[in-house]
Copies of this chain bind each other. A is one copy, B any other.
């Protein structure tokens, strides 16, 4: 994978051009490479060997404490020591001022090695970054800085047992914490009461404290919460209270672990049900978890979603790296395992010795599909991360363009790898046959781990509604138009290259179909009609985006001197994608374009 990663970063995304920007001026191509080297090594030594252990020695709760394997503690200690938690942050905050695209690329090694062990770090980094964007200077200093330093880890507490995708229904309440609550230097002080479900990293003893970021509603003057998402505010709720110097005060906050969720996969990350403020740990004389408001009242969801692009790209990249891990494992197996004989003109000759699995056409199909999904997904995630850098450090026009493109591409960056790199993992199992179905090989775990990614951080269905219902229509469809320009540019350039012209034509045709379906979906202007088939739209959109990226990547491979050896492989994956994958869009776009009414008309009683 490393050669493909280097090729994508240097030859395709031309990350060297970032070095000219003031923020990255101290960096060189070498420092970027060193970060990748370090992360690759730590992942290989401290994460990968223990990935199965983290699955079989699932976290358990003895009623008082949560127990994790020692390997998890050690792996995360090494991660903290690497400084990667603050990789993208300012020097003054202990950061490295790395571009997002390098940070994501470096973190990819941990996802490949053990996506679940790496989960704690990703959450902590996201939590602290949110505080950097929306917290007060003291909140940054006390909470974010200690998270970046790895002294404390963080969580995101959104869902509740009764409110998963529907955040407007959260029932956790926040009320002002007595006299002077507004003047607390750590932020307006509230007492929170409620239950939060699916909280990853919600309890552990890896770090001395855990910083929860919690969505809750402040009752209005009538004592009732404001309906919908407008009533949601955001709070810092530390597991143990701290003072303005960032020292533990010795007070335990009223946050209690109600239980661990026992999952299909992704077991290395604790996943918890947390009770806030039920009185299990009364604090300062009463029940109620103490929390400090971040940002303004009613702005909680907006603050949380500020980080959503990066969080969702991160989920997508996690799915990609599971796909990559399965691809690499099944390729290695297919090369060393002999079975059967090739079909030749004369049929099979049983007197000949068996050949390696990789020689069989159908095995090549399964490996090529994995390559197309995993490497294509990697290109997608890195492309989006590169846009994040543009959004943060580009000029004004570039920022505006990157922002709009990210709005449109983020649902794809999250959903496409979640769906297709899961399929890649299933193909990896299939390549190994019966052995792949056993726990003696890693591929079944990758498949289980990956199944989470279509669920968390916004389900597949939510991504589809976001894309078709918001992203492609926002600002008069400007985001989609920008994307179409980039796709057309790639097609135009590829049209002039020997062997790529037919793919350029196919891409142009696909783009045209996607645009027509988008228009047709919204032709009546009725959301219910347009959005009933939003998931097939999401799938088709994703395949068009990947067809575009594969063509763009193949173009870069044509021209690459440093990675000339990769060219035949990228060409083959491109051919695979256009021969076997892109044609699928017609089946998805059909119902979208004719506003297929079945899903609206279907009655419960008919099931």
Contacts and interface: CB of A to CB of B under 8 A. Distances in A.
Contact of A434 (B197, B228, B342, B438): B197
B361 A599 contact: yes
A302 to B, nearest CB: 16
A164 interface: yes
Contact of A198 (B368, B434, B533, B568): B434
With a 10 A CB-CB cut-off, give which of A159, A339, A356, A580 has the most chain B CB atoms.
A580
A587 interface: yes
B430 A600 contact: no
B159 A434 contact: yes
A580 to B, nearest CB: 6
Contact of A426 (B444, B451, B469, B604): B451
Nearest to A169: B354
Nearest to A341: B166
B455 A604 contact: no
Does more than half of chain A's interface fall in helix, strand or loop, or is it mixed? helix
Interface string A431-447: 00110111110001001
A311 interface: no
Given A430-B455, A607-B331, A166 B587 contact: no
B361 A531 contact: yes
Nearest to A198: B434
A469 B343 CA distance: 10
A168 interface: yes
B606 A569 contact: yes
With a 10 A CB-CB cut-off, give which of A197, A261, A365, A439 has the most chain B CB atoms.
A365
Interface in A312-341: 331, 335, 339-341
A587 B150 CA distance: 49
A456 B534 CA distance: 36
Contacts of A335: 604
Contacts of A433: 164-165, 455, 459
With a 10 A CB-CB cut-off, give which of A576, A583, A606 has the most chain B CB atoms.
A606
A452 to B, nearest CB: 6
A94 interface: no
Contacts of A363: 461
Interface string A586-597: 110011000010
With a 10 A CB-CB cut-off, give which of A469, A536, A569, A587 has the most chain B CB atoms.
A587
A339 B602 contact: no
Contact of A602 (B364, B526, B531): B364
A360 B575 CA distance: 38
A438 B596 CA distance: 34
B362 A535 contact: yes
Nearest to A452: B437
Contacts of A456: 434
A146 interface: no
B587 A580 contact: yes
Interface of A: 159, 163-166, 168-169, 197-198, 227-229, 261-265, 331, 335, 339-345, 347, 350-351, 354, 356, 358-365, 367-368, 371, 426, 429-430, 433-434, 436-440, 444, 447-448, 451-452, 454-456, 459-461, 464-465, 469, 526-528, 531-536, 568-569, 572, 575-576, 579-581, 583-584, 586-587, 590-591, 596, 598-600, 602-607
17 contacts: A163-B339, A164-B434, A342-B528, A343-B465, A345-B528, A364-B599, A364-B602, A368-B598, A430-B455, A433-B455, A433-B459, A434-B456, A437-B455, A568-B606, A572-B598, A575-B598, A576-B598
Given A361-B532, A362-B465, A368-B599, 10 more contacts: A197-B434, A227-B350, A343-B469, A359-B604, A362-B535, A367-B607, A430-B459, A433-B459, A580-B587, A584-B584
